[in-house]
A and B are shown apart, each in its own frame.
Chain A
């Protein structure tokens, strides 16, 4: 329906403005993301990172600018949001697993109910995904019986089960113990290595430096600076970035 080709940005964000009431949270943000790229968004708390990625799958609406995913405008009233969200997976800080369903059922639910896929087929895929996120043997456990890190990996598998083209991660390790952070990061790194397009909001600087193709630094609703990890971490030019990095590193 759109004439998007993989040579064009898979996600194109252009001059996006977003307000909650009178408070403008995003003040003209632009970025282009190519297929297979891993993008890290970092910045101080309240700078609008979550808001920005929630706009990409239309969990938030925008007041100005445009966001396209595979050439399709996200904030178009005629857009089929459900179709968009099949292409864009999202993982949240608080995992948000469905507590009344086992790990396996959490992963299987959306493909069966939303995509109307065959149950047996979905089950095979779901088991493979749980194995991939290193949760073999936990299929029948309920979220309440899993650690934070395990729940977060189920959440990743649940998103992947929809076979998205893009994955959004919003501080997915922020609620975890330091020891379990690693297991989730390894999972994301595997994904990135397989060529999944990933947009990550993270405070894990070492991880960002390692996996990101491109880093964006946001502050007070604008992108202050962006570049490759080495440009960003070693040669930051903006004083706001330098200050943030000096506090965090």
Chain B
């Protein structure tokens, strides 16, 4: 299981990517990871996002693309700081706190 969080927009307009592969985690952490992913219900979101722009009440909000690779085809969902559900926010914070994560800044 691999989770890829891409963030863009925001005050800085910078694009970053954070990856976490469950295989790099010790067993208890891998279980926590699986639990946090399950609670985020990413798979229940539509796999293909509508291209219509959302209501924009929050200038400088971050844009999120969260992609989960398990056994089947990858599931990808998109949010903003305005629409990010609490359990997805918790998942993102959990991943951000893991030393095993791999971060990069995209040009």
Q: Verify that A and B bind, or say they do not.
A: no
